[in-house]
Amino acid sequence: MKILVTAAAAPAGRATVELLRADGRCEVVAADPKGEDCVQLPMAEAPGYLDALQHILEYVDWAVIACDAELRMIIGHEVTGACPDHTLINALDKYRLYCCLPNIAPQAWRGCDLWIKTRTWPRTYSTPLAERDIITERLPGPEFSIDALYWHGREIASVVRERLETTNRGICSVAQVYHEHPAADVMRTVNDSLPLHGIVNIQCRTHQDGRLLLTDLNARPGGGIGLSAQAGVDLPALLVDMLLYDEPRGNATPQTGRYKQESHKTTR
């Protein structure tokens, strides 16, 4: 069995490749425009990307598309392992995402509907925000990341991590892992409206009134997936279970505790 992982030189893709190779039950095809020991796949925006991807898909059994730009390109093309198009379209546009899930998302305003006005003299002018921008209410509380494996909308496993420290690229480097936590219910609510498939990730923050609100839906692995594996839930290995047996055979219950990863490698 062969599994393709794109963006294999970036943190999420690289960690996914390493976990699949450590599991040892499949052949991993690591693809990236620049990575060493990778199949050279053009940048998502480059001419020929879809043709090159389609060529690789002809000889693999599953694809982990680990980059948002590539997810945007595959909308309208059936790629085994990707979330449905409706989910991708909303996941890749935060304003659409928040409008789709108003009960669990922060209030948001589109840039094209807003102007910035100065409060006092001497700069008493108005400036429109860029159409691509949105403004959301501030969420001052703790931030959580949930890594999960879903199978055609069915939850196989999930791990809730409180993000305690992050790198300058926004990758979680220190996390507190929980066994049972309300943040998992946010992901289940997302799945009710936007069916999930494969290894996915969401992020949420705590509102000042205590509610957990969705901030990001990543229809791909998150950069901290190695922390979930360190906590005992190896999502790529569980993915292989599902492909081989149509049921999870590995551990799906995380061990609570504080975990740290250096770069993309994980240590307790």
* Percent of the chain residues past pLDDT 90, beyond the cut: 79
Q: Is the dihedral of CA 184, 261, 216, 164 positive or negative?
A: positive
Q: How confident is the model at residue 267 (pLDDT cuts 50, 70, 90)?
A: very low
Query: pLDDT tens digits for 253-263?
Result: 999 999 998 75
Find the range with the poorest average confidence among 107-111, 122-126, 133-137, 173-177: 122-126
Q: How far apart are CA 267 and CA 20, in angstroms?
A: 18
Q: Does residue 240 surpass a pLDDT of 90?
A: yes
Instruction: Determine the topology of domain 2-97+138-267 in CATH.
Output: D-amino Acid Aminotransferase; Chain A, domain 1 (3.30.470)
For residue range 9-67, list pLDDT tens digits in order.
999 999 999 999 999 999 999 999 988 889 999 999 999 999 999 999 999 999 999 99
> What's the rounded Cα separation, in Å, for the pair 176 and 228?
10
User: What's the mean pLDDT in 69-86?
Assistant: 96
> Any idea where the domains of the chain sit in the sequence?
2-97+138-267, 108-136
Looking at residue 265, its pLDDT comes to 47
Average pLDDT over residues 216-226: 95
Residue among 21, 49, 54 at smallest CA distance from 33 = 49
pTM for the model? 0.92
Distance (Å, rounded) from C-alpha 196 to C-alpha 192?
9
The pLDDT score that the predictor gives to residue 266 is: 40
Whether 264 shows a pLDDT value over 70: the answer reads no
Cα gap 73→161, rounded to integer Å:
30
> Does 116 have pLDDT greater than 90?
no
Instruction: Please report the pLDDT score of residue 97 as a whole number.
Output: 97
CB-CB neighbours of 65 under 10 Å = 28
Inter-residue contact 253 to 232 (CB < 8 Å): yes
What is the chain's mean pLDDT, rounded?
Answer: 91
